[in-house]
């Protein structure tokens, strides 16, 4: 995916983490709530990833050009993993945002798979490779291009917190309709919006 779709999603996730940290009366979240969240980005194929998206990740400190090798000690490499706690975000307009705009530190794991093996394989990477190490209580899967609302992740987490027997939850998907719904004049946006309302 391109850098605009990627930053739309990642910036939205970072704003959600800031919201978790703003919940000062919470026994779970609060000022250091960011320490309880790890953002895992799994990219499907080193040759397939958008170069501008890699530049955004590099600007955040989550990627370094020239380190990845496809063979180490005669064995093919499956994936490259980068870990960093960033204190910056890049919004969809490619502007840097930091603490002055309410961004809190964000723990990042970036997994760049060597080969393109499709989306389900990326989910397996998260659950089988990172899951046992991170041991998360709740996992939220978000496709690139989806912009989560400012409190969406909190509300998904709360569904699990309220009822320990909850196995899964899904938020509402809305089409981006623009100011005063002007994007609904586009038949593709209008049909997408209609489809989401039916689901």
Question: Which tens digit of pLDDT belongs to each residue from 44-64?
Answer: 889 899 999 999 999 999 999
Strand 106-113 and strand 79-86: the pairing is antiparallel
Model pTM score: 0.88
pLDDT digits (tens, 9 = 90+) for 129-167: 999 999 999 999 999 999 999 999 999 999 999 999 998
What is the Rg, in whole angstroms, of the alpha carbon atoms belonging to the chain? 18
Task: Give me the pLDDT at residue 116, please.
Answer: 87
User: Exposed, middle or buried, 83 (CB in 10 Å: 0-12/13-18/19+)?
Assistant: exposed
DSSP string of 44-92, one letter each residue: S-TTTS-HHHHHHHHHTTS--TT---SEETTEE--EEEEEEEE--EE-T
3-state helix, strand, coil in the chain (%, to 5): 40, 15, 45
Task: Give me the pLDDT at residue 6, please.
Answer: 97
């Amino acid at each position: 995916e391109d850098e605009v779709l990627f930053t739309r999603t990642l910036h939205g996730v970072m704003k959600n983490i800031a919201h978790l940290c703003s919940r000062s009366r919470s026994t779970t979240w609060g000022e250091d709530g960011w320490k309880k969240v790890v953002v895992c980005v799994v990219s499907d194929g080193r040759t397939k990833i958008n170069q501008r998206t890699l530049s955004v990740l590099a600007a955040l400190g989550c990627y370094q050009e020239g380190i990845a090798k496809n063979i180490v000690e005669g064995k093919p490499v499956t994936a490259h993993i980068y870990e960093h706690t960033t204190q910056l975000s890049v919004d969809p307009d490619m502007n840097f945002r930091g603490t002055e705009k309410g961004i809190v530190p964000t723990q990042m794991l970036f997994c760049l798979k060597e080969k393109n093996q499709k989306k389900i394989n990326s989910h397996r990477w998260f659950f089988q490779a990172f899951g046992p190490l991170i041991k998360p209580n709740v996992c939220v899967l978000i496709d690139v291009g989806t912009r989560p609302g400012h409190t969406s992740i909190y509300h998904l987490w709360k569904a699990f917190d309220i009822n320990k027997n909850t196995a899964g939850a899904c938020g509402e998907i809305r089409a981006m309709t623009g100011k005063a719904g002007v994007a609904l004049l586009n038949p593709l946006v209008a049909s997408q919006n209609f489809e989401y309302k039916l689901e």
